[in-house]
Amino acid sequence: MNNSLITKKGFIKLKSEFDYLSQKERPKTVNGVAVAAAEGDRSENAEYIYGKKKLREIDKRLQYLSKLLKDTIIIDSSKVSTAIVSFGCKVSILDENNNKKTFTIVGEGESDLKAHSISYKAIVAKALLGKKIGEIAEVELQKGLVEYEILSIEVGDID
């Protein structure tokens, strides 16, 4: 069994997307493809070609979501420790240039840079996990070795 971690908030969001795609969008697209196929020559039928492409994209996304949601361990905020950087924590860090960054460590597939969240499988998150406030995490990035000081650790908005 290959369990992966996910936040309660992330699980609800990804499950909602899975349900919408499988129950609404996919059947609508399948119907559109069937209607377009009934019109005749499929090789020059733009609606049919586009519909088949869209159907492949939906199926690919459904497969990905299914994989993410299978065998997951849902972590809610009551299970998050702030003694060290851990899954579900909102952590503030300071880089070598005194740039402060804050993000929440979440599950794979639910990370969103606009929402300031990164996957626990991301290289920066891996370097931070297990560290305490005041400790330095070294991360090997494309631009070279970068050091981040842990400024604060709190429970993230994950429920």
Taking the CB of residue 9, how many other CB atoms lie within 10 A of it? 21
CA distance 79 to 88: 9
pLDDT at 51: 94
CA distance 118 to 148: 15
Classify 67 as helix, strand or coil: helix
Give the predicted TM-score (pTM) of the model: 0.86
Q: Residue 144, Cα to own-chain centre: how many angstroms?
A: 26
pLDDT at 2: 65
The answer to whether residues 43 and 109 belong to one domain is no
**Weakly modelled stretches of the chain, pLDDT under 50:** 1
Taking the CB of residue 80, how many other CB atoms lie within 10 A of it? 21
Tens of pLDDT, residue by residue over 37-49, are 888 777 788 899 9
Range of the domain at 58: 4-74
The answer to whether residues 14 and 52 belong to one domain is yes
Residue with tokens 């849902």: 74
The answer to whether residues 49 and 23 belong to one domain is yes
Which of 53, 74, 95 is a domain's end point? 74
The answer to whether residues 40 and 70 belong to one domain is yes
The answer to whether residues 11 and 49 belong to one domain is yes
Nearest to residue 10, comparing CAs of 57, 68, 60?
Answer: 68
